[in-house]
Amino acid sequence: MDPYGSFDFPSVRCVAVVGEQPGTVTITGSEERRREGRSGCLQLSEVHWLNLWSGASGSTGMSDGYPEAVLPTGAGQVVVIVVHTGSSFVTPGVATVYVP
């Protein structure tokens, strides 16, 4: 994980966005990548999450088109893991975020 809180993948970058909708985290590409017309996340990825305050958890795949995942985590401290499910090996990305 880099110091800006993003998930590092080869030639792609996902970020966790909080605060746009209460109780949700959106895993998506950075605004910079969007402006460049490039994807930020790998489409063949699964996103797993665990809310450390409530114990709630879940997982989902990235959406088609511009890959992103909206996670209904509820408020609290949340751990997010992004795992590439394609045929190549990519180190999973891990982050913790506070969700208002």
Q: List, in order of start, the domains of the chain with CATH numbers.
A: 6-99 (2.60.40.10)
Predicted pLDDT of residue 81:
93
State mean pLDDT over 56-61: 96
The pLDDT of residue 6 = 54
pTM value is: 0.80
Strand order in the sheet with 93-99: 57-61, 45-51, 76-84, 93-99
Residue range 16-39, pLDDT digits in tens: 999 999 999 999 888 887 788 777
Q: How confident is the model at residue 9 (pLDDT cuts 50, 70, 90)?
A: very low
Helix (H, G, I), strand (E, B) or coil at 35: helix
